[in-house]
Amino acid sequence: MAKSDMLGESLWDAYSDKVTTLMNNPEHQGELFLGEVEARGNKLIVADFGAESCGDAVRLYWEIDPKTDTIVNSKFKSFGCGTAIASSDVMTELCIGKTVQEAVKITNIDVEMALRDTPDVPAVPPQKMHCSVMAYDVIKKAAGMYLGVDSESFEEDIIVCECARVSLGTLQEVIRLNDLTTIEQITDYTKAGGFCKSCIKPGGHEAKDYYLVDILADTRREMDEEKMKAAADASESGEADFKTMTLVQQIKAVDSVIDENVRQFLIMDGGNMEVIDIKNGDENIDIYIRYLGACNGCASSSTGTLYAIESTLKEKLSKSIRVLPI
């Protein structure tokens, strides 16, 4: 079927090339049979998981070497949309070669990231992100069956949205990864809050320990704090870099800042300036300048103009700079 027959061009473009390829040509779709698996001395696990919210379902087959707990082969059957097929196929690929204990650590984020063509571009439109959550859940189901434990015992994170089975860690990571700013975006990407809505904010039919509004606010605050720290670290690094530059490099850096931020205002008043010398002291970096044209002898050249030049250089290059006109 042609792309134009399936989806509008803009929506189709929201899917990665890998997703569109695996929708039609999955590499691991199929089934494993008990007799063949046991003939190889291995154990067969068949796990089913269905998402009631969207009607999709997946059956996962694991062939496990019981001596090492290694998944030596895996197949799947998916009943649902093309994205569910692609997610299930990648999920199956990620399982092969891992021990059961390693496979259970695969998350829906790992599945979605593996479907991307490039690391920074989501593989699917937001409303299809829940398909990778289903892949995550069926892995836990299979691992629980093999190890003889409740699949929920593998849940190391707090489940915030019970309807879509979305954890606190997943929500925080999706917000960060996609720079989300609204509850609507969170719901589009994860399905959290899209059904009973109790997890969005207090006042729903079921009280929660965590709500999306608080998770979003807290995560955004942490992101802002990290950006501020990174900017401060960059500023400190820039200061150290300026002091370790050669004299020629320092003069070029100062001239570049002056050209971009100051010189046009001096020229508008009929003046200009030039850097004569730079001397690195223990506490200060002294920059000696000479005023030209109308700036030479102007009353503000030792007050307002000097302050503007020095403040700009301190901000852009180093807090240790001191400007001295001669």
Helices then strands (H, E): number in the chain? 14, 8
Q: What's the gap between Cα 161 and its chain centre?
A: 21
Element holding 310 (H helix, E strand): helix 304-316
> How many whole angstroms separate alpha carbon 105 and alpha carbon 144?
13
> How many whole angstroms separate alpha carbon 199 and alpha carbon 160?
7
Among positive and negative, which fits the CA dihedral 91, 87, 176, 194?
negative
**Residues labelled as active-site residues:** 54, 131
> How many whole angstroms separate alpha carbon 104 and alpha carbon 101?
6
> How many whole angstroms separate alpha carbon 61 and alpha carbon 35?
14
Element holding 100 (H helix, E strand): helix 100-103
Strands (E), 91-169: 159-161, 166-167
Which tokens sit at 94?
């990620």
The residues, ordered by sequence, that sit 6+ positions from 272 with a Cβ below 8 Å of its Cβ are 263, 266, 291, 292, 293, 295
> How many whole angstroms separate alpha carbon 55 and alpha carbon 67?
37
> How many whole angstroms separate alpha carbon 219 and alpha carbon 109?
17
